[in-house]
Structure formats: structure tokens, C-alpha cells
Structure 1
Amino acid sequence: MLSRTADSLFWLARYVERAENVARILTVGHRMASLAHSLGNAGNEWYSTLRAAGCEDGFFGKYEAAEAGTVIAYMVFDADNPSSIFSCLETARRNARAVRTALTVDMWEALNQSWMRLRDLDPAAIIAHGLIDFLDWVKERSLIFTGAYANTMLRNDAFFFTRLGTFLERADNTARLLDVKYHVLLPRDEGVGGALDYYQWQAILRSVSALRSYHWIYHDRLQPWLIAELLLLRPEMPRSLRASMEQITRHLDLLADTYGGKRGECHRLAGEMYARLCFGRIEDIFQSGLHEFLVAFLDQTARLGGEISRLYLM
């Protein structure tokens, strides 16, 4: 496969996953802001939403304050924001057009229909009264695209690169969400274990579709260390860091086998990250610092993406 084709498939999957992740982050930000207001607590939920999405610097280059209307507009429709939902789907479709013959019909139709529908929407109406329905639609379209490629692509190198993009982006997003809740979100005047703290953790689990999974596994009320364990170390949780890294290492190995056993730094780094999650214990992570662990993981994820590009996509 040509490296530019592999690169387009890799980034196509990353941008579709990123659009879904931004929708999930905005959903939890909206829910947290509503909860804070109902509990009489003016927190920093919209600022935390920006930080979770990695959009903080770009936003404050255009706006002075993180308020609901400006944050939603910037993260949903702003073409100058490369991580807005609009920009993600536009970039994903541009990558798809560049490798149209490498896609199945179902993949192309899922993505193209999403883009055409997005262009016809009224931003003002969505910001005013249709945000949650719109975000649910974005998540639904991403799931349709992911299901389309999972069920229609041949299991060859095109599928492996697409899968790598999906799970690398997913791991990055889960780490960001957990770090923002633990390190940023809780107001200083609200004690850990209070009502706002509880509902914030609940919203985090809802944002990754894991609230029911948490109760299924732990049979306990929401506990921060158990939520962190679920999202970091549990292999049965499909959006956990461990589950994502398992998929990344697996598909890197499949690529190595496809290309004559050639391996590089990306294989070593992915294996090291996966082993740390397989054999890590949540009490040790908390003792050394959850925030520090997550920041190191995000740095390694960025490095891993660079190493994959150097070996396969250039």
C-alpha cells in the first residue's frame, strides 16, 4: 500500500473518532454546567470542556471568556478550530475522497451522508435549543461509520491502519477526560464526595457510555479510584486505555507480519505502554499521582503517533 493511502486511512479514522469524542466532551460539559447551576455552584465546566478537548489555546486566541455560547460555537462549527466537529468531519471526508477506492461503499456513504447533513444544519438553532440532539446525532454517525468499516473491510493493511487511527484517538480522549475531572474540574469550595463531585463522576462515566458497565463490574456506589481503574486498567471496558492499547499493539503486529516482519520504535513503545497497563495497579497509580500518570500517557500517545507515521506513513 502507498504510504499516502495509509496516511489518509489512518487520519480518516482519527478524525471521525475525534468528532465523536468532541461530541462526548460537549455532552458532559453541558450536563455538568446544568448540574452546577441547579446546585447553586458556579464552576468552571465550560473551561474544563475546552481543556479536555485540547482547544484551550485556540479558543482564547479568539474569545476572552469561556461561556456556553462561545465554547459550543468554537467546538462545533468553527472552521478555524481543527478539532471542531465541523472541521473533523470535513477533514475526514477530504481524506476519504483521496482514497475513495480503498473504502467500501458502506464506509463512503456513512461519511458522505454525515457531511452533507452537517452542511445543511443551522448553527444558531443548534446552539440555542438543539445541542443535545445534535451531539447524539454525531455520536450515532460515528458509530455507523465504525460499524461500516468493522463489518465490510477486508482484514488487510487498509483495515489495520484504519483501526490504528480509531484506537489511538480513543486512548488520547479517555485520558484527557479522566485527567480533567481529577485535576481541574472540582471547585475548591466543594469537598470530595459531595453532591457535585458525585454527579461529575457520573457524567464522566456517561460520556464514555460506561455508567452501566461500572455498576455491572463493581456493584458499588461511584468511587473515584474504581472509576479510574475502569477507564485505565480494565480490559473488558472498550474505551479504557488498556483495551485501546491492546488493539493498537495487535494491529501493529499484524502490520509487521504483513510487511515482512519489519518492526520499529512504534512497536516497542506500544508494547511498553500496553505492558504498563496490563500489570499496573490502581493504588500504585494514585500513590504516584494520577495526573502525572495521565500526562505521561498523553505524551507517549503523541510520540507513538509520530513513530507510526515515521515507519509507515511517510
Structure 2
Amino acid sequence: MLSRTADHLYWMARYMERAENTARMLDVNYQTALLPQSADMAEQGWRGLLSISELTHAFHKKYDKVSADNVMDFMVRDVANPSSIVACLRAARENARAVRGALTTEVWETQNQTWLEFNRLLAGPAFRKDPSALFEWVKFRSHLSRGVTVGTMLQDEALHFLRIGTFLERADNTARLLDVKFHALTSGEFYGMQQTQTMNGMRQTQMIARDQPEFDFYHWSAILRSVSGFEVYRKVYRNVIRPEKVAELLILRADMPRSLAACICEVVNNLHHVANEQSGETLRRAGRLHADLQYARIDEILATGLHAFLTQFLDRVGDVGYGISRDFLVPVAA
């Protein structure tokens, strides 16, 4: 496959996934902001959302105040913000148009219709009237795009590059979400760390709440819902929502579709299918990251520091992404 074609397919998938992830985070933040809380706490939620996407500086260059309306305008309809939903859907559609011949009719029509319909929705009162409905629509269109891709495309290199882009973007986003939200909710003001000794003599690290407000349950639920993990958590753990179990589910559970372990597993599997003579080092690094997640334990991660672990994970994912670009895609100009 031509590197330019692979590049467009890879970034088409990444931008579509990024649009969905942005919609998920905005929806959860919007719902959480409706809970009884101080104005400062509500503002911190919106600041955290900007921090996840590393857009705090860009936001403040355009807006003086962090508010729900300003952040949603910036993250949904600002074409100058490359991470906004409108910019991501436009980029996904343009990348799809560039490789129209490599896609099935159903895949192209889904991408094109999503872009056209989203602009129609933004032009009307739908966004202001019910933001959650718009975010649900974006998520549905992303699900549809993935389903049509898997259901209609030949399982060749084109599909593998689409899958690599999807899961690399998803891993990056899940790690950023966990890092920012856990830092905000597990600050020393709310939680302490306690080590307990199990019957086999091993020490286990546990987060202990300190005078947690009653609505804290809803914040942890919101994190799970942002990755469609609330029902999964209930099925797997069958107990109250505990921070260390949320971290375990979203980092180490390979059967959780949006966990770091599941995403990196998909990246490695698809990389194997497109491997070439110069991609050995990239495949080795991706495989090493997969192995580290496969054999990690959540108590060890928490004991050494979740923030440090996630920061290192993001660096390694970025390194794998750079390797993929170098080995398969159009070289980025220095």
C-alpha cells in the first residue's frame, strides 16, 4: 500500500475516534455540572476537560473566563481548534475523500453524511437546546462509522491501518482522562493511601476516602460512563465504586473495550498484519508496552504513583505513534 494512502486511512480513523472521545468527555462534564456543587468545583471540571486535551493555553488566548458555554463552544464548534468536534469531523471527511477509492461506498457515505449533518445541526438550535442529544448523535455516528468499516471493507492493509489509528487514539484519550480525573478526585484533600496486608503476606494499596461528599459517587460514575464502563464495572466487581477498581478496569482489564490493555492489544495485533522490513523496532516497543500492561498489578501501579505511570504510558504511546508514522506513513517534515 502507498504510504500516502495509509496515512489518510490512519488519520481518518484517529480523527473520528477523537471526535467521539471529545463528545463523551463534554457530555459527562455537562451532566456532572448539573449536580449540586460549588461554582469553583464546577469550574474545575471544565478546566480539567481543557487540560485533558492540552488546550488550556489555546483556550485562554480566545476566552477570558472558563465557563460551560465557552468551553463547549471552543470544543464543539470552533474550527480554529484542531481538537474540536467540528474540526475532527472535517479532517476525518477530508482524509476519507482523499482515499475514496480505498473505501467502500458505505464507508465514504457515512463519513460524508456525518460531516454534512453535523453542520446542519450546528446551524440550528439543537446544540444550545440539548447539548447531550448532540453528543449522543456524535457517538452514534462514530459507532456507525466503525461498524460499517468492519462490516463492509476487505480485511486487508487498509482496514488494519484504520484499526491502528482508532485504538492508538483511544488509548491516548483513556490515559489522559484517567490522569486528569484521578488527579482531581484523589487529591490529598479527599483521599489517603492505605496499605493492607493480605493473608498471603502481600501488601495491597487502597485509596481511602476522607469525609467524601455524598455526590462523589456520581463523579466516579461519570468517569465510567464517559468510557461506557458503568454497566461493565457493575458486572465485573458487583460492589460500590472504588477508585482503585475504576483504575484497574480502565488500565488492565483486557476484556474492557476502552481499557489501555485492550487498545494496545489491538494495536499490536494489527501492526503484525502490516509489518515490513523497517517496522521491527516499532513492533517491539508496542509489544513491550502490551506485555507490561498484561502482567501489571493495580496495587503496584498505585504504590509507585498513578500519575507517573500514565505519564510514562502516554510517552510510550506517542513513541509508538511516531514509529508508525516513520515506518509506514508520509514522513513528517522536520
Q: For residues 190 and 168 of structure 1, what CA distance do their matches in structure 2 show?
A: 32
TM-superposed CA distance for 1:195, in Å, is: 2.2
The code of the aligned residue for 1:311 comes to: D
TM-score under structure 2 normalisation? 0.89
Contact 1:186 1:197 in 2 (8 A): no
TM-superposed CA distance for 1:40, in Å, is: 4.4
* Matching residue of 1:253: 272
Given candidates 229, 245, 270, the residue that maps to 1:210 is: 229
Paired residues for 1:54-203 under 5 Å: 54-122=54-122, 125-185=125-185, 192=209, 193-203=212-222
The code of the aligned residue for 1:181 comes to: K
Unaligned runs of at least 5 residues, structure 1? none
Paired residues for 1:256-275 under 5 Å: 256=275, 259=276, 262-275=278-291
TM-superposed CA distance for 1:54, in Å, is: 2.7
TM-superposed CA distance for 1:15, in Å, is: 0.2
The code of the aligned residue for 1:234 comes to: R
* Matching residue of 2:31: 31
Q: For residues 68 and 153 of structure 2, what CA distance do their matches in structure 1 show?
A: 40
Q: For residues 261 and 82 of structure 2, what CA distance do their matches in structure 1 show?
A: 27
Given candidates 281, 298, 302, the residue that maps to 1:282 is: 298
The code of the aligned residue for 1:82 comes to: P
TM-superposed CA distance for 1:123, in Å, is: 5.4
Contact 1:266 1:307 in 2 (8 A): yes
TM-superposed CA distance for 1:217, in Å, is: 0.6
Contact 2:278 2:327 in 1 (8 A): no
SS in 1 for 2:40: coil
Given candidates 290, 307, 310, the residue that maps to 2:326 is: 310
Given candidates 225, 237, 241, the residue that maps to 2:260 is: 241
Percent of aligned pairs sharing the same letter: 45
Report which of the two has the higher share of strand. 2
TM-superposed CA distance for 1:52, in Å, is: 1.8
TM-superposed CA distance for 1:128, in Å, is: 2.7
* Matching residue of 2:317: 301
The code of the aligned residue for 1:33 comes to: A
Q: For residues 124 and 144 of structure 1, what CA distance do their matches in structure 2 show?
A: 23
The code of the aligned residue for 1:238 comes to: P
TM-superposed CA distance for 1:196, in Å, is: 3.5
Report which of the two has the higher share of helix. 1
Q: For residues 258 and 244 of structure 2, what CA distance do their matches in structure 1 show?
A: 17
Q: For residues 283 and 78 of structure 2, what CA distance do their matches in structure 1 show?
A: 36
TM-superposed CA distance for 1:186, in Å, is: 6.0
Contact 2:121 2:127 in 1 (8 A): no
The code of the aligned residue for 2:274 comes to: L
Q: 1:124 to 1:116 in 2, by over 3 A?
A: closer
* Matching residue of 2:203: none
Q: For residues 58 and 39 of structure 2, what CA distance do their matches in structure 1 show?
A: 27
Q: For residues 41 and 225 of structure 1, what CA distance do their matches in structure 2 show?
A: 28
Superposed CA offset, 1:189-240 (max 9, x none)? 6564432332111000011111010010111110100110000000110000
Q: For residues 212 and 132 of structure 1, what CA distance do their matches in structure 2 show?
A: 19
Superposed CA offset, 1:26-51 (max 9, x none)? 0111122112xx24463111111111
Q: For residues 185 and 54 of structure 1, what CA distance do their matches in structure 2 show?
A: 19
SS in 1 for 2:258: coil
The code of the aligned residue for 1:24 comes to: R
The code of the aligned residue for 2:260 comes to: L
Q: For residues 180 and 125 of structure 1, what CA distance do their matches in structure 2 show?
A: 32
Q: 1:203 to 1:185 in 2, by over 3 A?
A: same
Q: For residues 57 and 123 of structure 1, what CA distance do their matches in structure 2 show?
A: 28
The code of the aligned residue for 1:299 comes to: D
SS in 2 for 1:137: helix
Q: 1:188 to 1:129 in 2, by over 3 A?
A: farther
TM-superposed CA distance for 1:262, in Å, is: 5.0
Q: 1:5 to 1:148 in 2, by over 3 A?
A: same
TM-score under structure 1 normalisation? 0.94
